[in-house]
A = this chain, B = another copy of it.
Amino acid sequence: MGYRFVNDYAEGAHPRVLELLASGGKMQEPGYGYDSLTARAVELIRRETASPDAAVHLVSGGTQANLTVLASMLRPHQSVIAAHSAHIAVHETGAIEATGHKIHSCVSPDGKLSVDAIMEVLAEHIDEHMVQPSVVFVSQSTEVGTIYSKAELTTISECCRDKGLYLYLDGARLGSALTCPTADMTLAELSALTDVFYVGGTKNGALLGEAIVINKPALKENFRFHLKQRGALIAKGRLLGAQFVALFEDGLYFELAAHANAMAGRLATGLTTQGIPLLVPQATNQVFPILSNQRIAELESDWGFMVWARAGEEHSAIRLVTSWCTPVDAVDAFLDALR
């Protein structure tokens, strides 16, 4: 059986993450995020985001992060604007609605939300018979691997500030967005443009863990109550702290993401060389080649991937995801198999 390009969480954690996790096992530490490793992780993230006043909280997963953050931001009558392919809109089993809030799903072929789409939602929601759009949700990178440029995110950020909306960025795949060849934004710049965002660890070499960064002062208050209420406050917070220390103390986070991007780039180049079209141009660690359904059926017996979308009668796009530890040999073997 060949490599599984199904997702970026199929492997365990990077050895340095595991090593730090295992060290000091019997040492006693305060619980619920008050341990020394979490304190160090928080400092590293504040430094890396150039956000010394940010509130940083570590949680176990992306859905957990999204539902806790959004429920803490919204009053009962308020709603979230997102791209129609957004993780919260499709792949979280109604987690946001379960906290009481509507998501406006805006059609977006490239997975990115535009200011026009935001303005259209605002224009349609004008009185108390309708919800009050209050948070803009974006993902960096998006569900189809595209990224917002600095200019694009700046425009959205300005629109939000102008219209009194909060801007929340889901960074499940933030590493790949920051380190891809077309990236033009640092973590610090991105932090300055958003009210809240999270730095995803699970899909970039951690066992589990996302670091929520809250910049907006009003949103910091009482956030630990929200974490506890949603079951997001881990008793042995050191587990999360250790991982983010390992990822950020020597730049491992960026190295791992860059590797995943390089492997995806190698896939994209190889595919294009073979004349295979891509559904969207490859930018980060996801590649969407369009193949005949027959060829896809043949590949499925040996390789792991997801069939993403139909592309005409006899073709479909598949999704190939690379990870922090995808071997270059696996990429080359897959490209060979396509010849």
Give me the interface of A with B, judged by CB distance under 8 Å.
3-4, 6-7, 9-15, 18, 21-22, 24-31, 60-61, 63-68, 71-72, 75-77, 79, 90-95, 97-103, 105, 128-132, 202-203, 207-208, 222, 224-236, 238-239, 304, 325
Contact = CB atoms under 8 A, between A and B. Distances in A.
A300 to B, nearest CB: 15
Contact of A94 (B21, B93, B131): B131
B9 A25 contact: no
A31 B101 CA distance: 26
Given A97-B97, A234-B61, A132 B222 contact: yes
A25 B188 CA distance: 31
A324 to B, nearest CB: 10
Contact of A100 (B10, B98, B234): B98
| This chain's copy number in the assembly | 4
Given A29-B10, A76-B71, A77-B222, A230 B228 contact: no
Nearest to A25: B12
A111 to B, nearest CB: 16
Contacts of A238: 12
B4 A25 contact: no
Given A21-B21, A105-B105, A28 B13 contact: no
Contacts of A4: 28
Given A61-B234, A66-B231, A97-B102, 11 more contacts: A4-B28, A9-B235, A10-B30, A12-B22, A13-B236, A18-B25, A60-B60, A72-B75, A77-B228, A79-B97, A93-B128
B234 A208 contact: yes
A130 B91 contact: yes
A37 B225 CA distance: 33
Contact of A77 (B7, B28, B93, B131): B93
12 contacts: A7-B31, A11-B25, A11-B27, A12-B236, A12-B239, A18-B25, A21-B21, A21-B207, A71-B76, A93-B128, A207-B239, A208-B235
B128 A222 contact: yes
Given A9-B236, A208-B239, A95 B231 contact: yes
Contacts of A97: 79, 97, 100-102, 131
B229 A94 contact: yes
Contacts of A128: 93, 222, 224-225, 227-228, 233
A29 to B, nearest CB: 6
Contact of A202 (B9, B79, B227, B235): B235
A20 B171 CA distance: 29
Pick the 7 closest A-B CB pairs, nearest first: A64-B231, A77-B225, A12-B25, A128-B224, A93-B229, A10-B28, A93-B228
